[in-house]
Chain A
């Protein structure tokens, strides 16, 4: 960690010190270019740009989270690729990975902020507790809310890694006891990039950071603040089971003939049609598989409120709030109202007959 902290050389120098060859860097550049659907020539440009780029100072803050996001990045199947991200950046503060503890750790954060004022990137995983002043999640005697405001004040940009920091995630799910909110609700005066997913795809985290370092600007973002190169297509549109959906061939349960034949999991509650992520293209564990390929529907984990979308096994057309008693009550009230209206009509008729009798 020590040789990373405060090290501000170029990426090329850092790679050379760790024995990474120029060929490897070119391959990595081509890999990133392919991931982001850039032209083939962009691979060389990325590699050249990366080699000459200053290592980006990064302060990584972990709030209400499960550490799954950093685990996704550090313990991926092919760490040789993803660990290159640590060569692109100068990771000046990360509670899980850093050797320093206590006051020394906090000093590292403050030192990095002072040394790179206006230039450092803040990476956040986890949502921010706001209820009762944010006291439900604290570290080093400060609430997450205070640390985020303090750190983001002089940041260049914020990278929200994972669905919790991007959209609130599981802590934000009903009934949200800690008043959890996404980073973008707190930091409104800085660019915020959301790399959502529970956890996010490691290649997407790496690719987004690489884009920032290479091009020195934010990638194009979708309406939810996610990098379009990775979140431009729905899982459904890129799913290899899509032809079965179009043919109307669905697995009805996880052990029926349809499931064994690999048919579409839409009727098992798959949220692929409304979920945008790179799972179906980059896949996981070194491109081995992804949830749908393993036989389970997409949970929609990279979307806001995915935990409250009516249940993982409820299909998209099904109502999320359907209560039979409401329908039954509506039918009963309708019958009573109909009978009442008819009684009134009978009374009016009787009155009209009586009045007609009087006039005669």
Chain B
């Protein structure tokens, strides 16, 4: 069995099983946890509460104006690599083929040159985020192993994917195998660390928005 056979076969299958199990496990756990009863009197309900919750969610997508200038570069870099990752994952023809084989859904892809350019920009943004974490005194103190691990397993597929598309260093089939294995590492790590924020951000922001909106607070 070659490296690519292993990656396309048992490795990706096991990784997907672990990913689905882990994500559902954490979400179900969160859903069924006991919740403290909110004893405050609701100032708004129904459509107004929904509107307030959504508004809060949207407003939290950009820093408050008091911090906007100070965190502008960081915010732009964060958005850059998040959007870049989305473009790479959902815009590259080969990734669409992968998604199609799992879900049956498919759509048109972007030219390889566009994906390569986006990958380079995404990689630059990810490197900036790491450098900032390593050099900012406050961030450095509060960073733990999981922060660096999350960065590593996110960046590795971008680097290996870019190398595979560009046919760099070693033979394509080995690069493709390594790339798929790096995705496996990402999938296996995803539910059990901070990467889970991709799902939990919707839960936590909604909960926060609803909590304050119910009290009439505009946050």
Contacts and interface: CB of A to CB of B under 8 A. Distances in A.
Q: Are A and B co-members of a single complex?
A: yes
Interface of A: 234, 236-237, 245-248, 250, 266-267, 273-274, 304-305, 308-310, 314-323, 326-327, 329-331, 333-335, 337-339, 341-343, 345-346, 349
Given A237-B167, A342-B33, A327 B112 contact: no
Given A323-B13, A338-B28, A346-B34, A315 B97 contact: yes
Given A266-B93, A308-B5, A321-B13, 9 more contacts: A247-B113, A273-B172, A318-B100, A320-B5, A330-B20, A338-B24, A338-B32, A339-B32, A342-B33
A330 B13 CA distance: 11
Contact of A246 (B9, B13, B111, B176): B111
A318 B111 contact: no
Contacts of A314: 101
B8 A349 contact: no
B28 A337 contact: yes
Contact of B94 (A237, A317, A330): A317
Query: Which label, helix, strand, loop or mixed, suits the secondary structure of the A interface?
Result: helix
A27 B26 CA distance: 71
B97 A318 contact: yes
Nearest to A318: B101
B112 A247 contact: yes
Contacts of B13: 319, 321-323, 326
Given A316-B176, A319-B13, A338-B29, A305 B94 contact: no
A248 B23 CA distance: 33
B192 interface: no
Contacts of A274: 4, 172-173, 176
Contacts of A319: 8-9, 12-13, 16, 98, 101-102
Interface string B11-40: 011001110111111111111111000000
Nearest to B94: A317
Given A267-B97, A315-B97, A334 B10 contact: no
Contact of B24 (A248, A304, A335, A346): A335
B32 A334 contact: no
A327 B172 CA distance: 29
Nearest to A264: B93
Nearest to B13: A321
Given A248-B110, A342-B33, A334 B28 contact: yes
Nearest to A269: B97
Query: Would you list the 3 A-B pairs with minimal beta carbon distance, nearest first?
Result: A338-B28, A334-B24, A342-B32
19 contacts: A246-B112, A248-B93, A248-B111, A273-B176, A274-B4, A315-B94, A317-B94, A317-B98, A318-B98, A319-B8, A319-B9, A320-B5, A323-B13, A329-B17, A330-B16, A334-B20, A338-B27, A339-B28, A343-B32
Contacts of A317: 94-95, 97-98, 101, 180
A337 B111 contact: no
Contacts of B1: 305
Nearest to B111: A248
Contact of B26 (A267, A273, A338): A338
Contacts of B4: 274
B31 A338 contact: yes
B2 interface: yes
A333 B109 CA distance: 34
Nearest to B15: A319
A248 B112 contact: yes
Nearest to B27: A338
Interface string B109-125: 11111100000000000
B28 A342 contact: yes
A318 B30 CA distance: 33
